[in-house]
């Protein structure tokens, strides 16, 4: 017998809008201390950085729906310290100024804003600075209920 038909997609909620996806790399460089890997401190530290990123995006006027940050790896920094490589994924309205967003994230102003926001948290965040590395990749996702989670890669 043929396989059962899949159920129809869920209807869009009122207020659904075209949504786009973006991803970029962010490097955190510790000049003193190192990245926390033990739980629950690692999860807490990541959540603090995510909150700081969301705040920075909001202060710059970008309405980010969903935001995810995934550890990609760590490498020793010259002169001591450590580089922590993060993959940032987010969704936002397709109508957002994506060219402006991309230029801002790839520029020094973003690095300064994220470093300032995280260092104001205190603790281990006083011992690191952030820099965007690489380019921002964006793609439309189509209509979606907002907020919408970043797709899994």
Burial 35-65 (b: 16+ CB within 10 A, else e): bbeeeeeeeebbebbeebbbebbeeeebebb
Helix (H) or strand (E) holding 77: none
pLDDT tens string, the chain, 153 residues long: the values are 777 787 766 666 766 778 899 999 999 988 876 677 778 878 888 899 999 999 999 999 998 988 999 999 888 877 778 888 999 999 998 889 999 999 999 999 999 999 999 999 887 778 888 998 879 999 998 877 665 544 444
Residue 88 is predicted with a pLDDT of 96
pTM comes to 0.82
Give the contacts of 69 (CB within 8 A, at least 6 positions apart): 26, 46, 49, 50, 53, 86, 87, 88, 89
Residue 97 is predicted with a pLDDT of 94
Residue 22 is predicted with a pLDDT of 94
Number of DSSP helices (H) and strands (E) in the chain, helices first = 3, 4
Residue 127 is predicted with a pLDDT of 82
Residue 39 is predicted with a pLDDT of 83
Please say whether the beta carbons of 81 and 30 come within 8 A: yes
Residue 148 is predicted with a pLDDT of 53
Residue 136 is predicted with a pLDDT of 93
């Amino acid at each position: 017998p043929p396989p059962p038909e899949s159920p129809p997609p869920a209807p869009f909620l009122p207020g659904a809008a075209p949504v786009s996806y973006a991803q970029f790399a962010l490097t955190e460089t510790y000049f003193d201390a190192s990245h926390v890997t033990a739980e629950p401190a690692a999860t807490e530290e990541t959540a603090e950085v995510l909150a700081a990123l969301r705040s920075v995006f909001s202060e710059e006027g970008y309405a980010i729906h969903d935001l995810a940050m995934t550890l990609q790896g760590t490498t020793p920094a010259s002169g001591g310290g450590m580089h922590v490589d993060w993959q940032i994924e987010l969704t936002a309205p397709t109508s957002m100024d994506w060219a402006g967003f991309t230029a801002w994230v790839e520029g020094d102003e973003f690095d300064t804003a994220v470093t300032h926001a995280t260092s104001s948290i205190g603790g281990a965040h006083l011992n690191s600075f952030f820099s965007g590395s690489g380019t921002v990749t964006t793609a439309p996702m189509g209509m979606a209920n907002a907020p919408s989670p970043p797709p899994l890669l």
